[in-house]
Amino acid sequence: MKRLFGLIGFTFLFVLSAVFYSDFNEIVFAIIGSLGVLSVAVGAFLIISKKNKSFGKSLFVFAFAVIISALYIIGYSEFAYNPIVNNYSDKEITASGYICDEITTTDSSCSFVIKTDEINGQPSDAKIQIISYSNVDAEPFEKVNFTAHTYKNKSNSQISHGIFLKSYSDDNFTIEATGEKVTDFYSVAVSIRTAMKNSLNMLLPEDYSTLCRAVLLGEKTALDSSVTDDFSLTGTSFLIVVSGMHLVIITSFVLFFVRKLTRNRFIITGVTAATVFAFMAVTGFAHSVVRAGIMMIIVSLASSDLRRADSMNNLGFAAIVLTVFNPYSVADIGMLLSFSATAGIILWSRPIEKSVLKFFHYKNKRRKGFAGTVVYHIKNLFKVCVNMLSVSISAFLWILPITAVVFNRISPIVILVSLLCEPFVSALLVCSLLSAVLYICPFISFLAYPFALVAGLCSKVVLWLVTTFSQLPFSTVKTHSLYWFVWIGVSVLLAVGGIFVKKRKFYIKTSILFSLSVLVIGASLDVLLTADNGEMKIYNVGNGVFATVNCPESCSVISCGGDKTDAEYVTDDIGENVADIEYLIIPNQNNKYSSLERFVVTKFDLNNILVYDSDIEKQKLLNAFDGNSRQTFGGNGHFTLNLSDTVTDEITCVDKTMFQYIKGKNKTVLFVPSDGDISKLPEKYRNPDYLLIDSVPENADLISCKTVIFSGTEKQFKKNYDSIKEICTTVVATTSGNVTVNLNGG
């Protein structure tokens, strides 16, 4: 059977992703089970009837992989994930272990991961991410004893690496370093990584060193938020995420010199494996790098035995290896994008390249004379450009569905920007590696400077290209609108229609032109129709209220409370559309309305922070932690904030309660925090379209509204449900998901 590992590996990825992202939905399991049974039935029929035995056997293998992968992720969840989360989340624990990676620092906090040996006196092998707002007196790989209040980790990227719990230093956290250190292969790799980062910091200005560290070592946290936003807008974030492309460049560079010294296949294979393992360790075993490393080692082993490895089989085998050790690795979107892009390149890049060369009637024979030599090299350069273009197009098309669904946007200019940037990124990567390594070496450290100079110049060019293109009007297109799904439907119908058309050359050109026209017209209409939109979004954050008012030209936060474990998810969602926030409004400093303030302040540039609290001493402490000034007010009063040209926030403060009346062109929302008394609110605000609450206010019978939006935990919602229904029969709870109100809609 051809491509056995490819079939099994991609089936594993498909099933595990479907189960994980559906949150173990029973309907998904039913569909998967039905798919397995149907595959067995059809496979048995094909084998018995002898119509297509090969395909029948493939269906049997597919069904086997479907069943095994579904059972495996269920077992992993029951015996590895759930025991840790159920026993230790939302509880205070006392534990011992060691810091199992480097400590990542930002301007206002530091974070690190502790791998435990013991929790509450019982042996336990768990990983806990600690976020501290002060310096921690401990070093990487040092054994520690600590006390912490832990939460369930909701960050998929961390879950994919087995980090299931999270804790914060302001929740009765204490840590004691023992002075004893753990030494292993990875600790050595982290030491080398730290030395390389220090080298780049010494050799280059901050703007360039942070980019080099991101490209070479995958350290994105040091990049300025405006830079990461520019890469995101142009769809080129993959350039600053350590991936298979980076590993290929580094390994190819090393092997270029090795092959100059020897042609021994076994030595080359050994050097390849050593380079791959070293780079994987130094970059923290990122899934995309491990995927590329496994494939590269297989190819190298096959060539040493004079065999040719099948690329799809190699890719499938890499998928099996990654998911067998941790089926939750599919939680890493970067890994799924890596596999999709690689599959697209393997299957489509060569046909696209051939089609383009055939279109230009490409032939290249070297002719005598200077002119013939010049033409020969120009045509070779053209072929290289076509190859790069075909690779970029095939990868882009295969990751398009994932990026559109997960990130709700795509960048039409990503292929162009990536083609322009990739040569400079390749040079930056190699020169950064050489300068970082040479600077560490005594006596020859001076050799690092010329390579650092080149790395700095390449960084400058890359930053300029990405920043320039990110400012274009259509550098990014949102894909959650109706026009996007219309375009997908039209494109699929055109593709299916091409099967039945004989004159395909004309049909392909016409179809591509028509498809692009639908996309451009749809995107243009969407921009025109949504230019006046004003949207209020209330997030599902557990115990508290986190709500934003989003307009085309601004974003404001009217409350930033909730569970801390939702902080990353909420800020990432906001950050997809904006880099700065016009107003951050805190109704009071109760955790239900302010607990996520740190995360908002850290991630975004804030123009105004308004806090309703008469305790000035609290504000002094807050101002000290991040340097932001806050406008504090107390007592009774009334004023109006213009959140945009069409949306206002009328704030009324009465008896230590801050009411907010958000008004758009066609909809109004009244936000009443806990302990609010409606009888104290002026009558003109008592008839909103929507009432936003997290508890039932006093004298709620004085309110007349069309819909009540309840933000809180499921337990709180059930407890207050009967009282809420007395206010209004139409009730929406954030426990079912985020709630969106179109303030300017009909």
Contact 591, 598 (CB under 8 A): no
Q: What's the confidence (pLDDT) of residue 627?
A: 59
Domain with 654 in it: 535-742
Note whether 602 and 709 are same-domain residues.
yes
Q: What is the CATH number of the domain that holds 575?
A: 3.60.15.10
Note whether 736 and 711 are same-domain residues.
yes
pLDDT band for position 531 (cuts 50, 70, 90):
low
Mean pLDDT of the chain: 85
Each residue's pLDDT tens digit, 178-204:
989 888 888 898 898 899 999 999 999
331: Cβ contacts below 8 Å, ≥ 6 apart: 20, 156, 157, 159, 160
Question: Residue 367 — φ and ψ, nearest 5°?
Answer: -110, 160
Each residue's pLDDT tens digit, 551-572:
877 889 999 999 888 888 898 8
Each residue's pLDDT tens digit, 323-350:
988 899 999 888 888 888 888 888 888 8
Tokens of 81: 């994930």
Nearest to 173 by CA among 142, 146, 205: 146
pLDDT band for position 96 (cuts 50, 70, 90):
very high
Note whether 562 and 672 are same-domain residues.
yes
Q: What's the confidence (pLDDT) of residue 686?
A: 92
Residues comprising the chain, all counted: 746
Q: Pick the last residue of a domain from 127, 150, 182.
A: 182
The reply to whether 205 falls in a domain is no
Number of domain units in the chain: 4
Sign of CA dihedral 489, 491, 492, 493: positive
pTM summary value: 0.81
pLDDT of 739 > 70? The answer is yes
The reply to whether 359 falls in a domain is no
Q: What's the confidence (pLDDT) of residue 206?
A: 87
Note whether 598 and 730 are same-domain residues.
yes
Note whether 549 and 649 are same-domain residues.
yes
The reply to whether 471 falls in a domain is no
pLDDT band for position 459 (cuts 50, 70, 90):
very high
Determine how many CB atoms are found less than 10 A away from the CB of residue 451: 21
Q: Which of 104-108, 254-258, 332-336, 570-574 has the lowest mean pLDDT?
A: 104-108
pLDDT band for position 76 (cuts 50, 70, 90):
very high
Q: What's the confidence (pLDDT) of residue 532?
A: 60
pLDDT band for position 422 (cuts 50, 70, 90):
confident
Note whether 549 and 679 are same-domain residues.
yes
Note whether 664 and 552 are same-domain residues.
yes
Question: How confident is the model over 97-121, as a mean pLDDT?
Answer: 87
325: Cβ contacts below 8 Å, ≥ 6 apart: none
pLDDT of 721 > 70? The answer is yes
Q: What's the confidence (pLDDT) of residue 7?
A: 87
Note whether 175 and 39 are same-domain residues.
no
Alpha-carbon distance of 281 to 250, in angstroms, equals 14
Note whether 108 and 19 are same-domain residues.
no
